[in-house]
Amino acid sequence: MRDRILELLAPALERLGAVHVDGTLGMGGHAEGVLERFPECVVVGIDRDHEALALAGRRLARFGDRFRPVHAVYDDIRRVVADLELPAVDGILFDLGVSSLQLDETDRGFAYRVDAPLDMRMDQSTGMTAADVLNTYSVEDLTRILRDYGEERFARKIAKAVVQDRAIEPYSSSGRLVEMLRRVIPAASQRQSGHPAKRTFQALRIEVNDELEVWHRAIDEAIDVLAVGGRIAVLSYHSLEDRATKQAFAAGATSSTPAGLPVELPEHAAYLKLVTRGGEAPGDEEVTTNPRAASARLRVAERVRDTSTNTTTSSTDSRTRKGTTR
């Protein structure tokens, strides 16, 4: 959906001196699109994955200082913007979930079709691994993450099997986990729902990287640093991520005027405008070319009011400030 994203961000990024923050840089495909289409734009690329930053850095080196890579988690976007002393942020993109780089690097443990160490950390320099989760969580906690993050119907059955198996031998590889899932999940469900490991692997990845909690913090911080007239685009692949995005955008696009007031006071006016109607899905052609995009949903919003001053100043005017706050 890269072309569609660029089209929707264009009104904000066509300005002279525009600043765009790619909160999920990955291998730099979206950032490259922005840098090519908007020659006056500076792109800040954030990623927690050191390998992704290195690969993107080589890919985007031809753009010189118009590209600025930063190692951070995207819920730290406010600090990143402050540290770089950016006057305003005109565009923001988040392409959530696991990247193609992480899926294709077999030794990272994200892919269930190959046997690999159960790691699944997006930043391999810190934090617990998927093996740690499987080998230490209680049946109740395993059930919760499989049910909530993987939307797995057989969550408790799988959790009990994990605890029983790890008592014999701790989990260390994805192959053994897949074998257990094939054994535990009913054959009829496997025929109807595809690969038996996809929901469990998704749940483990989200838990290991604290993705949903990070996203709840990140969406608020991103809106805070967005200049008036700036646009934020979010590409989600999980219903819980999309729901959090929808709720944050809806809250910003709704007046907070108390019931019964005859007029809307400026401080209660909406500070966002919804650019897309609901979550846009990819077209059939893109899904055919890239099956991983099938579950993607795109939402875009525009900042229409600076709540730090209760005005509707333009993005150009806002460049005299170091940022905006909600």
Known binding-site residues for S-adenosyl-L-methionine equal: 28-30, 47, 74, 95, 102
Q: Which amino acids are annotated as binding site, given as ranges?
A: 28-30, 47, 74, 95, 102
CB neighbours of residue 284 within 10 Å:
9
Amino acid at 48: R
| Contact in structure between 176 and 193 (CB atoms under 8 Å) | no
Say whether 63 sits in a helix, a strand or coil: helix
Residues 6+ apart with CB under 8 A from 6: 33, 34, 37
The answer to whether the beta carbons of residues 264 and 255 sit under 8 Å apart is: yes
Report long-range pairs for 131-135 (Cβ below 8 Å, ≥24 apart). Answer: 131/170, 131/171, 131/172, 133/204, 133/207, 133/208, 134/162, 134/166, 134/171, 134/177, 134/204, 135/166, 135/170, 135/171
**Closest C-alpha to 141, from 217, 204, 224, 85:** 204
d(C-alpha 74, C-alpha 92), whole Å: 11
Q: Are 66 and 40 in contact (CB under 8 A)?
A: no
Contacts of 269 (CB under 8 A, 6+ apart): 255, 257, 305
